Amino acid sequence: MKKCLLALASCFFFVYEHGFSQGNESNSFGKDFLHKPLVHVITYGESIYSIAKKYNLSPNDLMLWNKLDKNTILDRGKILIISPPPTASPAPNSDQAKALTIPEDGIHIVQYGEYPYLIARKYNISPNDLLEWNGLSEHSKLDYGDKLWLINPNQEVKKENITEKETSKILIPLDFIHEVKYGENIYSIAQKYGIKPNDLLRWNNLTIYSKIDKGMKLHLKSPNE
């Protein structure tokens, strides 16, 4: 009996030291478990104040962590972060971490150990928006190399601060075909013509993982129309 108890105690100590120890950097499970923010799925009739009270939190903290204000209407089924979210490491000589600039193609490639809430915070966007734009849920698992939209691919995009002279140069061609130029991507082409990135993908039988090369011809409207 004593031998069994000693064996169980040894196993528990091993799991604790190697599976849940924050200091052991070689074990990603322990790090993810400790660093992932806690979340709450909103149910009917809940408010910022009732949720904050439920978890003994400050309503102001809850609004800050989720980028909400006191007038925000909570939708049932949406998720709220109920613990301080992780942030990117501060830049040298900076007191606070700065949000990363969204890449030119509007896409983030998932790295080891990343998950939706961490990625959203890196780019200072809403976690719920990130999930919605990519057809994910709060339970979705990300793998290394996955690609995520950091912009709404179902919304028309247009260049900011564009002049009338520039506008005249980017009218959609009469044949509704765009020939890809060096350095262009799906997002930049959609932005150029003020169309939805997902429409551009669908019209050309492409996905977010598709590579487009110089000289490729893309439909700027459904080829079936």
- Is residue 15 domain-resident? no
Instruction: Give the Cα separation of 221 and 178 in Å (integer).
Output: 10
Q: What is the pLDDT of residues 44-86, one digit of tens each?
A: 888 888 888 888 888 888 888 888 887 788 888 888 888 776 5
Give me the pLDDT at residue 147, please: 93
Q: Which domain holds residue 39?
A: 34-86
Number of domain units in the chain: 3
Both 168 and 212 in one domain: the answer is: yes
Best CA proximity match to 150, nearest among 182, 128, 125: 125
> pTM of the prediction?
0.54
Q: Please say if the pLDDT value at position 31 is more than 50.
A: no
pLDDT at 48: 84
What would the pLDDT profile of 135-147 be if each residue is shown by its tens digit?
Answer: 988 778 888 899 9
HSE-CB at 17 with a 13 A cutoff on CA atoms is: 6
Which pair of tokens denotes residue 164? Answer: 């009338």
Identify whether 156 is part of a domain. no
The reply to whether 113 and 77 lie within a common domain is: no
Rounded Cα distance between 27 and 189, Å, is 42
Pick from 118, 149, 180: which residue ends a domain?
149
Residue 211 lies in a domain: yes
| Residue 12 within any structural domain of the chain | no
Is residue 154 assigned to a domain?
Answer: no
Half-sphere exposure of 148 (CA within 13 A, CB side): 30
- Please check the confidence at residue 7 and state whether its pLDDT lies above 60: no
28 token code pair:
């990603």
- Give the whole-angstrom CA distance, residue 197 versus residue 152: 8
- Each residue's pLDDT tens digit, 88-122: 344 444 434 567 888 888 999 998 888 888 888 88
In whole angstroms, give the CA distance from residue 201 to residue 220: 10
Closest residue by Cα to residue 209 from 218, 201, 217: 201
Beta-bridged to residue 41, according to DSSP, are 79
User: For position 203, which CATH number holds?
Assistant: 3.10.350.10
Q: Which residues of 62-95 are buried (b: 16+ CB within 10 A; e: fewer)?
A: bbebbbbeeeeebeeebbbbbeebeeeeeeeeee
